[in-house]
């Protein structure tokens, strides 16, 4: 049986997805990789890998007899606006390298994540459709929309099995936030669990689609496990759980921590959030492969706080 390569295994998604893949397939079948010298998953084969290095990527695929790739390495929205050329190179060169290596090595499947950042001001703010106007205004969003088209092109031209999800904002306790516009939610939960107040970089009523990481991981595995003939969406599937604003999240946290206080100082990320939908229509995913989230918003808050209070206390600066 050929092995699975996770690129970006040390990141926010990669940390938990790699663990889930090991539980499903066994440690011997999963190879972790990231740009750092050391991996988070000590029981696994690990390769230091810069995905923009096509030659090195091809060597890793051949060396480990890889059959599937989960390509998660990316520059996110906020960091991408601060370092646009770096973000574009990482996001686009990395994806094209993965697609080309997968084509040449005849890999069975590739997973690549898109994002709600691929939407833009022309997209309906409520129930953003599976197919509709998409005019992203960030380097991250532009790269995700371009990536969706590249994945579709490779699938149509070469018959490759490439699967993708438009993730909403993802909330996780296993890894620090990676520079996204929805990171305020994670930072607020980290701060509350550590006994600190918090200053939000988004305004009080900025509603955005969000999801708890265990649901995102499960959705990814379910999509990759679904029979190809069931998957009708071209490109990337919309994915949703619930939407909330900073005010709504803080209200729930304060029911658990009444002394928790939040101030609001919107920065450049506010304009990014304002261009994104408030909610997502994921009916195509629910129809094609029976997607349904397991966690409610309050379930997520309770589970996050339960895990965070067990961690070594962190300062607000570290959480940010």
Per the DSSP assignment, residues forming a β-bridge with 68 are 4, 109
Smallest CA-to-CA distance from 181 within 84, 280, 76, 92 is with: 76
Q: Collapsing DSSP states into helix, strand and coil, what is residue 214?
A: helix
Side by side, the strands of the sheet bearing 169-171 are 169-171, 208-212, 242-244
Helices H, strands E: what count in the chain? 13, 14
> Of 140, 173, 264, 295, which one is the catalytic site residue?
140
* Residues 72 and 7: beta-carbon distance below 8 Å: yes
Residue 93 sits at φ, ψ, to 5 deg, of -65, -40
Backbone angles phi, psi at 57, to 5 degrees: -60, -45
Does the annotation count 140 as an active-site position? yes
Strand 30-34, strand 45-48: pairing: parallel
- In angstroms, the CA 235 to CA 14 distance is 21
**Token duo for residue 3:** 């092995």
Two tokens, residue 73: 């390495």
Return the closest-CA partner of residue 130 out of 276, 243, 235.
235
**Rounded-to-integer distance, Cα 75 and Cα 82, Å:** 10
Among 54, 67, 92, 53, which Cα is nearest to 6's? Answer: 67
Greatest Cα pair distance in the chain:
58
Query: CA 122 to CA 239: how far, in whole Å?
Result: 19
Active site residues: 140
């Amino acid at each position: 049986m050929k092995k699975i390569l996770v690129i970006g295994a040390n990141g926010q998604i990669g940390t938990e997805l790699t663990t889930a893949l090991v539980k499903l397939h066994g440690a011997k079948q999963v190879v972790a990789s990231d740009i750092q010298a050391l991996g988070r998953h000590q029981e696994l084969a690990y390769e230091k890998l810069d995905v923009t290095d096509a030659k090195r990527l091809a060597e890793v695929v051949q060396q480990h007899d890889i059959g599937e790739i989960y390509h998660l390495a990316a520059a996110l929205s906020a960091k991408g606006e601060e370092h646009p050329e770096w973000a574009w190179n990482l996001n686009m060169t990395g994806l094209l390298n993965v697609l080309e290596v997968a084509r040449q090595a005849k890999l069975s499947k590739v997973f690549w994540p898109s994002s709600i950042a691929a939407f833009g001001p022309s997209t309906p703010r409520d129930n953003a459709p599976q197919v509709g106007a998409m005019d992203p205004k960030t380097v991250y969003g532009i790269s995700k929309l371009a990536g969706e088209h590249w994945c579709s092109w490779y699938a149509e031209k070469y018959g490759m099995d490439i699967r993708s999800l438009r993730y909403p904002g993802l909330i996780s306790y296993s890894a620090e936030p990676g520079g996204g516009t929805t990171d305020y939610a994670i930072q607020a939960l980290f701060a509350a669990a550590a006994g600190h107040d918090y200053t939000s970089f988004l305004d009080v009523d900025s509603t955005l689609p969000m999801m708890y990481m265990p649901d995102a991981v499960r959705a990814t595995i379910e999509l990759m496990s679904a029979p190809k003939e069931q998957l009708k969406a071209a490109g990337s599937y919309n994915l949703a759980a619930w939407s909330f604003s900073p005010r709504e999240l803080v209200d729930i946290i304060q029911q658990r921590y009444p002394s928790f206080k939040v101030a609001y100082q919107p920065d450049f990320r506010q304009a990014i959030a304002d261009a994104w939908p408030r909610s997502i229509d994921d009916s195509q995913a629910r129809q094609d492969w029976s997607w349904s989230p397991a966690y409610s918003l309050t379930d997520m808050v309770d589970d996050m706080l339960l895990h965070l209070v067990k961690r070594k206390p962190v300062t607000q600066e570290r959480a940010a």
